[in-house]
Structure 1
Amino acid sequence: MQELNTFNKDLMAFIAASPTPFHAVQEMASRLQAAGFEALNEAEAWQLQPEGRYYVVRNGSAIIAFSNLAGSHVEKGFRMVGAHTDSPCLRVKPNPELNHNGYFQLGVEVYGGALLNPWFDRDLSLAGRLSYKTKAGDIKSALINYAKPIAIIPSLAIHLDREANNIRSVNPQKDIPPIVMQAEKGQQDFRAMLLARLKKEQPNSDAAKVLDFELSFYDTQLPAIVGLEQDFLASARLDNLLSCYVGMQALLSNKDQNALLVCNDHEEVGSASSSGADGPMLKSVLERLVPNTEQLTRALDRSMMVSADNAHGIHPNFADRHDANHGPQLNQGPVIKINHNQRYATNSETAALMRHLAEQIEVPLQSFVVRTDMACGSTIGPITASNLGVKTLDIGVPTFAMHSIRELAGAKDAHYLYQLLAKFYQQKSVAISA
């Protein structure tokens, strides 16, 4: 129990420190470096040592970490875990200044498939990346985080919307611009505000002008263990920072094998970017580890990818939204996700291997298949499998309220997944005989 509590406490600290993909990658890089991993630069030649541990960052929002501990990649292959750093949210538009009836608001764009109603009446803050010009005329980037409530999206009172409890649709253009302060029209320059914030966070900054930004609103309520018996973990961005953390901790526990963790950006919007799973980042790193095409093909045939992304737990109020035989329970273990239309990459062989590993360490496993009359979501699993030709399994922790501003998972399940991924990383072989 003490191990579980310590694990969850650190998981919650990681999520709290990671309000945006940029901050998540910064936090992961810091933790990896403290554990002895060496930073690599894609623009430079790599001099990799046989027993080395390394990480590389792209766009500040995606990271790949790996260890060369088992010798030949060709003969041993890779044990790979994949997750993603982004979550549905509200992103600030380039020209966001809005003034309505004496209130200063910021125009926002919905990023990903966000559940919008829970964003109302929450204490919101703002964080992300700034690109700025220095006094010497150079262009640099920096992260900022207001770290306290600075905005809110108030609901319309029930007296003015009598049908709100019967039907409430949200117009993302006009209903959700957050209120930041009271101010007269024309007195606000958002970029000037950002420059002032940057100088407050970094007093020695040589920034002269903010040129552009990628900023996200987020809920300031901290993650918490909740329930009469402390059964649940409630937090923003469980999808999918939980898997990023679990994958990182499993990688740090690896002592023997060629292990790799990739945390891509932009999964929630299709993964088609330089730092997304449908981009070249992972393949580029693997090609630098095994430059010969034939040898890389041989290495990948001896490899396996585990795509870790949250699953839908069966909601007690909406149990009919699940297939009756495939409704995962919170705190009953990770969920193998299966879809024969290839929305998930799991097949019988990869599922069998994972079930075998779970039996060895007595970690419970569950299965999820979407109702046949409902559409199925997807993950980086099928994208990575089709790009690399590597056998792949989709798995994740069951959650409620996926894509809400605050999601809910079982307090035991992240640790179960950690144990399973740590066991997977230790495998000398993932070959499956015919």
Structure 2
Amino acid sequence: MSTSRRFDRGHTDDLVSFLTASPTPYHAVATAAERLEKAGFRRLAESDAWDGGTGGRYVLRGGAIIAWYVPGGSSPATPFRIVGAHTDSPTLRVKPVPDTGSSGWRQVAVEIYGGTLLNTWLDRDLGLAGRLVLRDGTTRLVNVDRPLLRVPQLAIHLDREANSGLKLDRQRHMTPVWGLGEPREGELIDFLAAEAGADAADVTGWDLMVHPVEPPAYLGRDRELLAGPRMDNLLSVHAGTAALTAAAAHDRETGGALPYVPVLAAFDHEENGSQSDTGAEGPLLGTVLERSVLTRGGTPEDRARAYADTVCMSSDTGHAVHPNYAERHDPGHHPMPNRGPILKVNVNQRYATDGTGRAIFAAACERAGVPWQSFVSNNAMPCGTTIGPITAARHGITTVDIGVAILSMHSARELCGADDPHLLANALTAFLTG
């Protein structure tokens, strides 16, 4: 990897900006697309005819983005190197009839999205963001990034057992307040349309979600930790975007030396199973890769050859050892912050890594000069999963599960080592360029 392309703590500073600008998957892909545009990538519409030229391209669909760079001299059978990630995070999402209330309070009706830690949303200043769909089919992003909502916790005086075992009813206890008085039908959408500069009468659909407005911040005596929202998994989306643009720059600087077509595939809906047209289990990635082969004059045979040597690095956050619950972790595997990305292994295919994948990851880290760690779950604890096994099974390509070790996963505010984001970006750049 070119030394001019190495990332340092400035990358983590930039991650802070990325997280702040991306309160929803729709904002995340828009932010990534803006960065790709500045790096010379151009957007393609899925309904248009594509050409087979070299250079960077990307497609957007809802909260998903697929971007790729075709190096000079690529053949139709040139394999792909893919960084996979997801754009969604556990949160509270607005229901179809949002205006509700009780006992003189105006509230917003929400549904629980993903496996969120409910208690972390209590007594926290919350904003509201997402997309408004207009009558003509266009969309308008909206982001109220100031204190607007709050899920108030019951005072200890009214629940003396709260500290012995807090139990939250997902329907009754998680409805945020946003004012006083009786709810009025259409009030929330009227307000958000005005915030987005749209006519409320033109808003016929919406996808809206709550987000904490407290900005990311460095933490600790030596500022060696970073606290912030949506690290699972915008940390990987940010690193993948940086690695792809670095790989494109490397190819231009070296006159077309990349042996692979580097790809970023950031999907939506991973937190609830990936089964959607923008999720990893949908056809989006396979369609884009196949069209890339065919527009370069390829055949189904070329596609099969390209896939045979394709590798996907599925990047998602994993668990750092928790100092207060160390017994929940495997005793031989205690990933720590700032010691590099983790290789995630599960023999029951909750992660897709095998020995071949381990060797590929180790080579990328060695080339980048990046330390790395292994993660495996305690045998007595259930193991989570990622887009990795889905990608491997759906497309028949070698897939490796990696990520950054964090604490407080699925909290409204998570914690990672401040050096790990740029160590991950360096490893991914080496993977895409090697």
TM bin, normalised by shorter chain, reads over 0.9
Q: Residue 246 of structure 2 corresponds to which residue in structure 1?
A: 253
Mapping of residues 17-416 of structure 1, within 5 Å: 17-49=21-53, 51-59=54-62, 61-69=63-71, 71-133=73-135, 138-186=136-184, 189-199=187-197, 205=198, 208-254=201-247, 255-256=250-251, 257=258, 258-291=261-294, 292-416=299-423
Question: Partners in 2 of 1:139 and 1:384 — Cα distance?
Answer: 31
CA RMSD of aligned residues (A): 1.5
Q: Relative to 1, partners in 2 of residues 1:181 and 1:389: Cα closer, same or farther, differing over 3 Å?
A: same
Higher normalized contact order (CA 8 Å, seq sep 6+, divided by chain length)? 2
Question: Partners in 2 of 1:113 and 1:187 — Cα distance?
Answer: 30
Question: Partners in 1 of 2:181 and 2:279 — Cα distance?
Answer: 39
The 8 Å contact of residues 73 and 299 in structure 1, kept in 2 or not, is answered as: no
Question: Partners in 1 of 2:183 and 2:82 — Cα distance?
Answer: 53
Q: Relative to 1, partners in 2 of residues 1:243 and 1:189: Cα closer, same or farther, differing over 3 Å?
A: same
The 8 Å contact of residues 9 and 419 in structure 2, kept in 1 or not, is answered as: no
Question: Partners in 1 of 2:94 and 2:122 — Cα distance?
Answer: 16
Deviations 1:337-359 (A, max 9, x none): 00010010101011012112322
The 8 Å contact of residues 75 and 302 in structure 1, kept in 2 or not, is answered as: no
TM-score, structure 2 length as denominator? 0.93
Shift of 1:195: 2.6
Code of the residue aligned with 2:287 in structure 1: it is: S
Question: Partners in 1 of 2:222 and 2:172 — Cα distance?
Answer: 41
Code of the residue aligned with 1:160 in structure 2: it is: L
Q: Residue 3 of structure 2 corresponds to which residue in structure 1?
A: none
Kindly tell me the number of residue pairs found equivalent between the two proteins.
415
Q: Relative to 1, partners in 2 of residues 1:188 and 1:274: Cα closer, same or farther, differing over 3 Å?
A: closer
Instruction: Tell me the SS of whatever aligns to 1:146.
Output: strand
Question: Partners in 1 of 2:189 and 2:338 — Cα distance?
Answer: 45
Shift of 1:110: 0.5
Code of the residue aligned with 1:215 in structure 2: it is: L
Shift of 1:309: 0.2
TM-score, structure 1 length as denominator? 0.93
The 8 Å contact of residues 269 and 279 in structure 2, kept in 1 or not, is answered as: yes
Structure 2 gaps of 5+ residues are 1-5, 252-257
Code of the residue aligned with 2:16 in structure 1: it is: M
The 8 Å contact of residues 99 and 185 in structure 2, kept in 1 or not, is answered as: no
The 8 Å contact of residues 308 and 394 in structure 1, kept in 2 or not, is answered as: yes
Structure 1 gaps of 5+ residues are 200-204, 428-434
Deviations 1:362-411 (A, max 9, x none): 31110011111211100001100001111010000000000000000001
Instruction: Tell me the SS of whatever aligns to 1:13.
Output: helix
The 8 Å contact of residues 7 and 426 in structure 2, kept in 1 or not, is answered as: no
Code of the residue aligned with 1:272 in structure 2: it is: Q
Q: Relative to 1, partners in 2 of residues 1:3 and 1:418: Cα closer, same or farther, differing over 3 Å?
A: closer
Runs of 4+ in 1 over 4 A off after TM superposition: 185-188
Question: Partners in 2 of 1:3 and 1:77 — Cα distance?
Answer: 26
Deviations 1:262-304 (A, max 9, x none): 0000000100100100000000001101232221111011111
Question: Partners in 1 of 2:8 and 2:212 — Cα distance?
Answer: 25
With 94-103 and 158-167 compared, the bigger mean Cα shift is at: 94-103
Question: Partners in 1 of 2:34 and 2:28 — Cα distance?
Answer: 10
Deviations 1:161-183 (A, max 9, x none): 11111100111100011001012
